[in-house]
Structure 1
């Protein structure tokens, strides 16, 4: 999808959505009682929403920052139990997950980080009660009762704890209160979903209050594993959170929070992408996979493509290739499993101490997070690649200590609102992996070689895919000289060796990374006049990352074929010999690495900050303009495939620096206005964000690439779009930003009566790569796997998104009982879901609608509600990707979004 094209279907969807849904859920959301400074009804006075986006409590309408604040009432009505459901209430936000829920990624204004590699930090940082979660995927779990969520759009380079280059999600859980009470929820839904939530709050004297909340959620999976008679993408999780609030005086408040959550679930399955989803996902045999496909050529999963017949010959059930993309029957290799386990727990303490003209805030926290996930990693019934569930199955473990100190106050007769602070974080990250070639890998890749030599010779019933007939034909070719002349015996031996790469590979690679980060910052608001403010913020960040890795591998075939075939790499047979070596050593899986250790370190020092000029010409209207600079740390690609080309890989010359990628920086400019009065309000923001060293993580069908993306001011003449990794360099003096995100955000709310609230928001974001791209700030050429990027939109970055909601809570009789009618929707334009932007990964525009209806406050303590998510059962994909080890011109797979779910919730309070 080129950025200049928009589908008529998308425009129709948007129009239909506005006809169906009055408004959208956005920043001027009416908060629930606990969020209001003035608790009066709308008819008597405007409710006021308080946020802490700038490190101190401020009225939302007075904050010159692009921010969405979502109340607990809206979160409950929209069914938000983890951050994915925020998509329905914030049009500039998109949260998705891929092969593992730990890989969840959040994007704001089209900018985010693909989460498959834990070495990359999140462009959108997530905080819970002021405590940083090491990766945004860590928040894809039950959150329990919430007070509010604040979504800050654009770089957060001054406050907010950890730096974030694209935005920040701050989640605030419900605090203890000094009165006794409790609640219990029970939900039953389709897919045999059972969710139980409950909690108790109690004062423990006049100065101490405590509460404990728990959530249990169990549900069948959305996918049916036909082969192994089980389901995948199920839910089996729980959360316990205990809190204590200590207020010994009016000046001191201390909140202690401890939580533990666990998931024991199978995740995440994928289906084959069919032409019904991506009509352009068609190719002709031999067509360059990076060229635009020819209409009318065979479908990706058609038997006209030779690789499909190989899969069928190796036991792939034809149903998997013929069924609809959205048929959730999957055909997994017998005995393979997606079973996984996640633990997440921690403790934090927040102190707020009023010292007269200043307030001291301290937030201290320690958290641990661990995740393992088995997988049938090739997503076919053929046993090509897998992770055995257990302690080393794609494991990632974080241990994170953070300390934030802030001191803020006023001076010069309140003309200066000042804030100074410091932040320290120490993160211990360990990644372990046992990725192995399956029992049929050797035959499958031998068939790929046979297809390249002569498709008529490919016979998947033979281990080497040739058998006696195929070998005899190759030996007898050229009048008995052999198909490859004197090298024929060597090539045939190489194929024999390759066919024996079965159940070999990683036996426990271990990557360790220690990150130490400290920062000092100041954020000051100068009240130049009663209506004109100047905000200046500055932050200095120092980051050190120490890395080491030890590899464990039993693939002895790789060094055998390297020794056998390397002599042919300088001959006309270099392509065939290189292919045999590459498939024998795919991803640098080789016994040559067994027991080898490497280590490296990197240091970064960055200044970031912000400057904002805001003016209130009248009490209800504010206009502002701002500049901010953001930063996201560089790091290490925690994947051995990045150590070098498997064909020329030399263990003796390993350079761990090849795993490094540089820090990402952004310069952002905004102008905006906010209007807020008794019945309605709106906000309008125009923005431009320029990213340098943009960190891109993509899977090319064989390995994960992590590359910094920059632009070149000079015309590269299309050399960044060719198949050569050596062409398309740029003079370092001409290197500039490689990604630009620019657009407009509009948000509004209307509350004509105390029982009706309507909201609406629209985001137009042109988030695109520059026309001439290079792969580093030194001007190195772009990797050829990324040659579709120049001039196109980023993946998962639709240009048009709208969200809307309508809430009606009429009084029922005179008993205090109320009705509830709630509906919201998200309308999304076309976008490409693949980070390499291959054409078969495009997603048409769609609309998702949620609804809730019920009775609340029955007898002042009960409620019953019926709800539905994805009301019209809209089918769409989260991410499409190259099916591993099957050439990209042959087939794609996709992680699907959730289907329609519905159920009933009963709630009691005391």
Structure 2
């Protein structure tokens, strides 16, 4: 485990810091230096040199993408310091964050704060792009709210991926890669003219690899790769003014994902365990490990069959001990077709992008991540699944006016999306033995007997019955408590029989983006977007957990007595996550409508041809929606299944006001961009797992001092007057990116981001001023999860000529240094990740005979051990046990390429 900002990290930062001035001096010394290839982007809806775009944008070329081994958007982490892409319990839930802001969690009802586009076509969620991408032309990463240039609006940023397009030259290529973990990747494609006006291109990728985790119980591996992509394209250019590009693609994955290990002291030192969260938090030095028998829940887990090895190995051992017979197998299918039409009328250019996409993912899981059979989802049609069927239409007109003093753009966007989510999470065959033990631990840990019904032996029952002079430990209610525990013990292989959530959304928008050239060097950019969104929601439930209904009838009368806590604990575990037969056959429906006006204003000035400075304001927006999870219907202890209110599932739209100043400097061999920003989020949409259920909460601030009532355990304290509601999340910082080509065949890049992305000190829930959920009481005043303050990236590419035949060498290194951050959205201390450095490299020979290349490569060269997300281990988390989804270990291999 690396130390915070390890020696390697500091060395990397120091080398990069000294490298810039040294290489800049070398520019003057080497008059034969080759100029950098000018990077052209379409970040403002027009082709422009990157240095002339007055917005914060990172552009990654095809060469850099190939050298860095980018096959899906996760590898972009290495080349863009303000970006972080991660995945958790299901790759469909992949999350992209820019400047520390992103959509957290596994709920498809939340749209992505960072929108992903491939060839101008919106992907419904960031995780939909966690697949093979095939050959790429470039990637543009826009930072800050977007929306006035077209496509889907977003509140934090945009990732635009451009695949390699057909050309009118006949060519083909192939590549074969073999690496550790028995990795095999085959990629091939052919491009062919079909006449003077029509060209076609076909690309295919197949990737297979063993998993990074070994399942010691079921003797298999998890987190494997078995996927392929086929993409076909046609380019029709009958005249210089008209072009039509049609793209069709199909990809499929059949993989087991995603396993997790128990968090141990090598990841979470005991001094970090959150104080005050519950009676089992042990923050003092020398306290027992989270997974030692000194933690009261651990003897219960061991008694019910958990392998001790799973509780004593390192967090990063990658050997897991799930339930026998439970599977993580899943399937993903993603296909679509799009057509982009461009026509030049002379004074006006017209663009139309029409697309349809169908994305389906289904995944089984051992949902409690322990060897006990507590929660599970079986693979298959009724497993946890999501399907997006999305039609989008975008049109744009742009041109110039007033003797080229105005570059104007206007357009419209329409999206129709059908989302269907299914779930079949069930309590396992040992839930009835485990759940009562949590109650008995709260009564008297000495009485815990996991092998006995209700976790109470006959002797234990006798002790409780004889208390209070024979009246019983709970007075006249003692028999009811015993009966409630007995009923809880029957919750075995019960729960969802298949529940379905449907959401249909329609999005209309009109937008305009205009650049006014006030002088030859001074520009004013004004953009505006009006968006209207309608979402229709319905749900249907099937459930066979009758114990919930039985215990509600038995114990509800105790909820107004001094035994309310005990009765509520039994009821909460009996009806966990609102899993109850009372919902069987119930349906819900609701509609949500909203509209927003957003926009941007930018003033940019070029004092010299090589330097541009700018300042901007923009307002962004992300739609509200529905929490597609029955746990949000209400408190399971008091849920009235005959008076269900679907409005409880709604969350409000997220808005942001963003301010930025920046500068860009570019010469033939050196470019530098700087940006300072501040972004204020209102109704920030947070999704977090508290160990029992997923909470979706809008986060706001209060302009008055709440006196720490937002940090206590009460759900009723910490409210705010509606007039005092303020932004709840602030992201502010500085970004620097530099590129240098000081001498022939050598290029260096360097980027660093300092971001303070934090919750304000006084936090509330929605805009009405409602109190924050007590599960989030560590948030006020702290940094957001997965938002390190300091991130640095650097790369070096050296391609010297070897001999006179045209052959070249290739030496490529890139590195990402990440500072400390908390990986858990509830910010519990045991989920903090120390700073680390990930280094990738590639070395080889290219242009062998003008056709071939041989390259050796390594990802995560130093085998840095770090986590993507640490989370509360389901059901046992109230006793402070955490699990973690680990990042990938070191991988390496060799690639052979050929082309004609």
Fold agreement, TM-score > 0.5: yes
Equivalent in the alignment of 1:272: 262
Cα contact 2:150–2:411 (8 A) shared by 1: no
Cα contact 1:849–1:870 (8 A) shared by 2: yes
User: Helix, strand or coil: the match of 1:447?
Assistant: helix
Q: CA deviation at 1:17?
A: 1.1
User: Helix, strand or coil: the match of 2:346?
Assistant: coil
CA distance in 1, matches of 2:699, 2:784: 12
Q: CA deviation at 1:609?
A: 0.5
Deviations 1:311-344 (A, max 9, x none): 0000000000000000000001000010000000
Cα distance change of structure 1 residues 42 and 706 upon mapping to structure 2, 3 Å threshold:
farther
Equivalent in the alignment of 1:878: 868
Match of 1:169 among 159, 173, 176: 159
CA distance in 2, matches of 1:735, 1:574: 34
Equivalent in the alignment of 1:408: 398
CA distance in 1, matches of 2:706, 2:223: 45
CA distance in 2, matches of 1:494, 1:477: 19
Cα contact 1:275–1:281 (8 A) shared by 2: no
Equivalent in the alignment of 2:357: 367
Equivalent in the alignment of 1:498: 488
Match of 2:315 among 317, 325, 328: 325
Q: CA deviation at 1:890?
A: 2.3
CA distance in 1, matches of 2:749, 2:616: 26
Q: CA deviation at 1:42?
A: 8.5
Does 2:117 align with 1:127? yes
Q: CA deviation at 1:752?
A: 1.1
Equivalent in the alignment of 1:32: none
Alignment of 1:39-438 (within 5 A): 43=33, 45-280=35-270, 288=278, 293-438=283-428
Does 2:833 align with 1:843? yes
Equivalent in the alignment of 2:802: 812
Match of 1:802 among 776, 792, 800: 792
Cα contact 2:150–2:413 (8 A) shared by 1: no
Q: How many residues align?
A: 889
Cα contact 1:14–1:802 (8 A) shared by 2: no
CA distance in 1, matches of 2:355, 2:373: 44
CA distance in 1, matches of 2:344, 2:434: 69
CA distance in 1, matches of 2:683, 2:478: 47
Instruction: Tell me the C-alpha RMSD between the 2 structures.
Output: 1.6
Cα contact 2:274–2:829 (8 A) shared by 1: no
User: Helix, strand or coil: the match of 1:10?
Assistant: coil
Cα distance change of structure 1 residues 287 and 708 upon mapping to structure 2, 3 Å threshold:
closer
Match of 1:10 among 5, 10, 22: 5
Equivalent in the alignment of 1:473: 463
User: Helix, strand or coil: the match of 1:650?
Assistant: coil
Cα distance change of structure 1 residues 601 and 206 upon mapping to structure 2, 3 Å threshold:
same
Deviations 1:649-702 (A, max 9, x none): 001111100000000000000000000001101001000000000000000000
CA distance in 1, matches of 2:32, 2:715: 62
User: Helix, strand or coil: the match of 1:653?
Assistant: coil
User: Helix, strand or coil: the match of 2:501?
Assistant: strand
Match of 2:650 among 621, 638, 660: 660
Match of 1:519 among 509, 521, 536: 509
Deviations 1:834-872 (A, max 9, x none): 000000000000000000000001011010000000000
Deviations 1:590-643 (A, max 9, x none): 000001000001111100000000000000000000000000000000000000
Deviations 1:548-584 (A, max 9, x none): 0001101011000000001111111111111111000
Does 2:774 align with 1:779? no
Cα contact 1:220–1:234 (8 A) shared by 2: yes
Cα contact 1:112–1:166 (8 A) shared by 2: yes
Cα contact 1:551–1:595 (8 A) shared by 2: yes
Q: CA deviation at 1:465?
A: 1.4
Deviations 1:755-792 (A, max 9, x none): 00000000000000000000011110000000000000
Cα distance change of structure 1 residues 23 and 465 upon mapping to structure 2, 3 Å threshold:
farther
Does 2:532 align with 1:542? yes
Cα contact 1:342–1:369 (8 A) shared by 2: yes
Does 2:429 align with 1:439? yes
Does 2:691 align with 1:723? no
User: Helix, strand or coil: the match of 1:366?
Assistant: strand
CA distance in 2, matches of 1:285, 1:132: 43
Cα distance change of structure 1 residues 243 and 115 upon mapping to structure 2, 3 Å threshold:
farther
Cα distance change of structure 1 residues 94 and 484 upon mapping to structure 2, 3 Å threshold:
same
User: Helix, strand or coil: the match of 1:368?
Assistant: strand
CA distance in 2, matches of 1:249, 1:76: 33
Match of 1:821 among 811, 816, 835: 811
Structure 1 gap segments, 5+ residues each: 1-6, 26-40
User: Helix, strand or coil: the match of 1:652?
Assistant: coil
Cα contact 1:91–1:762 (8 A) shared by 2: yes
Alignment of 1:449-848 (within 5 A): 449-848=439-838
Cα contact 2:280–2:295 (8 A) shared by 1: no
Cα distance change of structure 1 residues 216 and 8 upon mapping to structure 2, 3 Å threshold:
closer
Cα contact 1:383–1:438 (8 A) shared by 2: yes
CA distance in 2, matches of 1:449, 1:623: 63
User: Helix, strand or coil: the match of 1:464?
Assistant: helix
User: Helix, strand or coil: the match of 1:345?
Assistant: strand
User: Helix, strand or coil: the match of 2:460?
Assistant: helix
CA distance in 2, matches of 1:706, 1:283: 24
CA distance in 1, matches of 2:369, 2:441: 22
Q: CA deviation at 1:753?
A: 2.2
Deviations 1:22-60 (A, max 9, x none): 8999xxxxxxxxxxxxxxx99465521110111111111
Structure 2 gap segments, 5+ residues each: 21-30
CA distance in 2, matches of 1:284, 1:83: 33
Q: CA deviation at 1:282?
A: 6.3
CA distance in 1, matches of 2:581, 2:248: 44
User: Helix, strand or coil: the match of 1:320?
Assistant: helix
CA distance in 1, matches of 2:300, 2:624: 42
CA distance in 1, matches of 2:155, 2:280: 30
CA distance in 2, matches of 1:315, 1:24: 56
